[in-house]
Every structure is written in C-alpha cells, then in structure tokens.
Amino acid sequence: MNFRPFAFELREPLATAAGDIARREGFLVTLDGDDGSCGVGEACPLPGWTESYDECRDALSDVTPAELDTLPPAARHGLALALLDGDARDDGVPLYRHLGRDERVETVPANATVGDASTEQTRERVTDAVDEGYTCVKLKAANRPLDEDIKRVAAAREVAPDIGIRLDANGSWTRDTANRAFEKLAAFDVSYVEQPLPASDLGGLTALPDTGVGVALDEGLYEHGIDAVLDSEADHLVLKPMALGGPDVALELARLARGAGIEPVVTTTIDGPIARAAAVHVAAAIPAVSACGLATGSLLATGDIPDPAPVGGGVVTVPQKDGNTPAVLLADYA
C-alpha cells in the first residue's frame, strides 16, 4: 500500500458544526495487486468528525489490509475504498454494483445547499435551485433568532410551493427553542430538522411535539452509536462515509436504519472527488434513496480534475465505469 498527500482549497469557507472549513487536506491511498490490478482510495480527515491529519498519516504508515478495522475513520475509509475499488474493477462492475445493487442506477437525487443566508438571499437561492431542477433544499438554522429562521423558511416556501425543505440546526437549539421551532415549522411543510438538539441529548427527541416535521440525526450517531439511534425517535439518519470509516460501513448502517424505518441520507465531509464519488456509489446502492447531500463537488477548487459524478437537473450522475471513478486523473490529485 502507498499513500501521498493532497490538498484542495474551498472556493468559499464553509461553516459547519465543527467550525469553518477553508481547505481540505488528505491522502491518496493506492493498492497494487500482484496481478497488476490497482485500487484507489481517499483519506480526508476532518477534526471534529474524524482523526486529525497527523493522526491519519501516522495510522496509514506501515499498515496492511489485514489491519483495516484497527484504523481511525478517515484512514480506514482510504484503505477500505482502495480495497473495494480494486475488487470492483476485478469484477468488472461499478462500485455500487459491487456493493450489492443489482440493477443499473443512472442518477441519485441531491439536495441544493442554501446555507445560512439572509431572507432575501434564501429567496434567491431557492429560486435558483428550482430553476436548476432541484426538488429539495437544505437551509442552515440556529445561527440567528428563531423568528428570523422562520421568515427564511417562509420565503423558501413562498417561491417554491412544492420543494422539499430541510433545516440543519447543528445541535444548537435548546429543548424549548426546538419545541417552538417544530410548532412554527409545521405550517411550511418542512421535511425534517437535522440535529435539532445537542448530540448528547438523544432523549430530548421524545419531548418534541408531533407536528409532522421529521427529525434527522447526524452528530448523534457518533455520540451514541447505531443501536441507540435505531431505538430513538429519529426519522432520518445522515451518513458521512468518511466520518464512519468507509463506504462499506456507511452502507451497512443505511441498511440497518432502513430496516428500523429510518430513512438514510448520504452526504460528505466536503471530500475530494474520489471520496465524493464513493459516497455517490453508496447512495446508488440504496434503493429509492431520498435526496442526498452530494452536490458538493463545486465547493472545492480541484483544478483540471474532471468531476466523476457531475450534478445537473437536481441529480448526481453515478459513475458507470468499473470500480469507483476511473475518470479522476491521479496525477492531478495534488
């Protein structure tokens, strides 16, 4: 196994629950088989979700495939993806088929990211999303007074009567604020609020009013584990393959969630093209998957690297070549 560093700048800094992101750094992982085959993976750590860059580098040093499950999340993702990519290439099928999906899947639905915009900007961005063919948008919430967030949601619904609206509170609401939010959001047919309460407060979900607004868990999965999530009041589960340790882990959790009546939503940690393509394959391996947070490729300045999973008309094109993404030029991955 070999690995080498890469780095991509974000076109604009992105605010997340773990802080602002301006640059993504990681490692390209390659596995060369005795028969001349090659598997390629990506480890792109993001502190707050995974190990640090230095910890990832140290974990990948002198590791063997047999030690896969001893690795921290991002490092495991890199090696696991390289193994899966090589196996899928050997099988002569795209990665999503290797992961278990029998039929051909051309596209997966994506949500447009509106972010934490002002009311007028929200109106404009949602209008643009509709024009671009999106059927679902995601707004960031909880960075301003609740009444202002409600006005933003109202503006989104006004310009897009039929679009799916999701909010992400990043675990920032108190129980009281969340209760008031769910009561007010019901009037705008909001699909769900992601992480309405702090990740530690899984029990607080039972106290939220039943207004038809769903609950999605993200950080709560890492705080409590899958068994607790499956027993919770969650309606959706956000899955980040990089933070979970690989496409294989993310897909297994998606299947467990679906079996418990919880809908999986696949997204990324603003990864490079190779890892983002793998997340698209995970989504493609889930039958009738709902809109996923996979329209993130344009957030990174990746130079001449071709987009292996382009977005258009509100959907992401699933790579159909053998393996994960032969379209990515490894020489340009720097």
State pLDDT tens for residues 114-133. Answer: 999 999 999 999 999 999 99
State pLDDT tens for residues 41-86. Answer: 999 999 999 999 999 999 999 899 999 999 999 999 999 999 999 9
pLDDT band at 330 (very low <50, low <70, confident <90, very high): low
% of the chain with per-residue pLDDT over 70: 96
| 2-92 and 107-332 in the same fold | no
* β-pairing verdict for 38-43 and 112-115: unpaired
Tokens linked to 1: 């196994």
Catalytic amino acids? 140, 240
| Sheet of 38-43, strand order | 38-43, 19-32, 2-16, 300-301
DSSP 192-246: EEES-S-TT-SGGGGGS--SS-EEEESHHHHHH-HHHHHTSS-SEEEE-HHHHTS
Residue 145 clears pLDDT 90, i.e. is over it: yes
Mean pLDDT of the 91-116 span: 97
Distance (Å, whole) CA 167 – CA 37? 44
* Residue whose pair of structure tokens reads 């190779």 in the numeric block: 274
State pLDDT tens for residues 276-306. Answer: 999 999 999 999 999 999 999 999 998 888 8
194 is in an annotated binding site: yes
State pLDDT tens for residues 182-239. Answer: 999 999 999 999 999 999 999 999 999 999 999 999 999 999 999 999 999 999 999 9
E strand or H helix that includes residue 101: none
Out of 3.20.20.450, 1.10.240.10, 3.20.20.120, 3.10.20.30, select the CATH number for domain 107-332.
3.20.20.120
Domain spans, the chain: 2-92, 107-332
Q: 160: closest CA among 122, 107, 118?
A: 122
State pLDDT tens for residues 244-253. Answer: 999 999 999 9
CB count, 10 Å around CB of 98? Answer: 22
Q: What is the pLDDT of residue 136?
A: 99
* 291 touches 135 (CB < 8 A): yes
| Sheet of 107-109, strand order | 107-109, 315-317, 311-312
Tokens linked to 304: 């001449």
Whether the pTM exceeds 0.75: the reply is yes
116 is in an annotated binding site: no
Q: What are phi and psi of 246, to 5 degrees?
A: 145, 160
Q: What is the pLDDT of residue 161?
A: 98
What is the average pLDDT score of the chain?
95
Which CATH class name applies to 2-92?
alpha beta
* 86 touches 33 (CB < 8 A): yes
Distance (Å, whole) CA 243 – CA 250? 9
Q: What is the pLDDT of residue 12?
A: 87
218 is in an annotated binding site: yes
